[in-house]
Amino acid sequence: AQSVTQLDSQVPVFEEAPVELRCNYSSSVSVYLFWYVQYPNQGLQLLLKYLSGSTLVESINGFEAEFNKSQTSFHLRKPSVHISDTAEYFCAVTITDKLIFGTGTRLQVFP
How big is the site for another protein, counted in residues (CB under 8 A)? 25
Determine, following the binding rule CB under 8 A, whether residue 111 of this chain makes contact with another protein: no
Determine, following the binding rule CB under 8 A, whether residue 99 of this chain makes contact with another protein: yes
**Strands 32-38 and 44-50: what pairing?**
antiparallel
Determine, following the binding rule CB under 8 A, whether residue 86 of this chain makes contact with another protein: no
Determine, following the binding rule CB under 8 A, whether residue 13 of this chain makes contact with another protein: no
Determine, following the binding rule CB under 8 A, whether residue 104 of this chain makes contact with another protein: yes
- Give the residue with the Cβ less far from another protein, 13 or 32: 32
SS3 letters for the chain?
CCEEECCCCEEEEECCCCEEECCEEECCCCCEEEEEEECCCCCEEEEEEECCCCCEEECCCCCEEEEECCCCEEEEEECCCCHHHCEEEEEEEECCCCCEECCCEEEEEEC
Determine, following the binding rule CB under 8 A, whether residue 101 of this chain makes contact with another protein: yes
Determine, following the binding rule CB under 8 A, whether residue 53 of this chain makes contact with another protein: no
Binding site for another protein (CB under 8 A): 4, 6, 9, 32, 34, 36, 42-46, 49, 51, 90, 92, 94, 96-104
